[in-house]
Structure 1
Amino acid sequence: MNEKAFTLIEMLIVLMVISVLLLIVIPNITKHNGMINNKGCEAFVNTVQAQVKAYEMEHNEIPTIQQLIDEKYIKSDKCPNGRKIQISSDGEVSESGA
């Protein structure tokens, strides 16, 4: 017989190679996801800082997070990594610990 087909051993080898590749790739993806969220939080803090300055120029006072949300300067008080942001009494925006 001259049939063109994969043997069971060949199929098992291919499945083993795919499994090893997945074991290598999946941890790297999750590690990079955390880095991406942290970079996104840095960008969000910078955006909120700019909105604080805009609000301060219009109203002559440093806003609270809730004032920025209520007046639609920002949509959320949370970074992509889930942490909240805060505004200090001098108008500096930072990421809070929890």
Structure 2
Amino acid sequence: MKEKGFTLIEMLIVLMVISVLLLITIPNITKHNGMINAKGCEAFLQTVQAQVKAYQMEKNTIPTVQQLMDENYIKSNKCPNGHTIQIGSDGEVSESGT
């Protein structure tokens, strides 16, 4: 009686094909993840800028990041890429390097 199944060579070829596919896709995924985080940070900075303007209109002063968080204008002081945000003396929002 002859049993049907895969030979060792066939299994090795399948594993090799899977490995090649993983080697091709993983770098692409990490590159896109970085782009997504950068776009998310841009959008977050624009949202915080709008909240700074709203705070400025209500309180007639430029807020700090901590004031915005304390008064629930924003929930976090970090971009999706992990960088913190800062507010300049002119009210412009930017991200700091760390």
Same fold (TM over 0.5): yes
Shorter-chain-normalised TM-score: which range? over 0.9
Q: Tell me the SS of whatever aligns to 2:94.
A: strand
Work out the CA distance in 2 between the residues paired with 1:83 and 1:18: 36
Greater mean deviation of Cα atoms: 30-39 or 67-76: 30-39
Q: Tell me the SS of whatever aligns to 2:30.
A: helix
Work out the CA distance in 2 between the residues paired with 1:63 and 1:15: 57
Question: Which amino acid is the alignment partner of residue 55 of structure 1?
Answer: Y
Q: Which residue of 2 aligns with 1:21?
A: 21
Work out the CA distance in 1 between the residues paired with 2:9 and 2:96: 55
Q: Which residue of 2 aligns with 1:33?
A: 33
Work out the CA distance in 2 between the residues paired with 1:22 and 1:14: 12
Q: Tell me the SS of whatever aligns to 1:97.
A: coil
Work out the CA distance in 2 between the residues paired with 1:14 and 1:93: 52
Work out the CA distance in 1 between the residues paired with 2:50 and 2:2: 72
Unmatched 5+ stretches in structure 2: none
TM-score, length-normalised on structure 1? 0.93
TM-score, length-normalised on structure 2? 0.93
Question: Following TM superposition, where does structure 1 have runs of at least 4 consecutive aligned residues deviating by more than 4 angstroms?
Answer: none
Q: Which residue of 1 aligns with 2:84?
A: 84
Work out the CA distance in 1 between the residues paired with 2:55 and 2:16: 58
Q: Which residue of 1 aligns with 2:42?
A: 42
Unmatched 5+ stretches in structure 1: none
Count residues in correspondence. Answer: 98
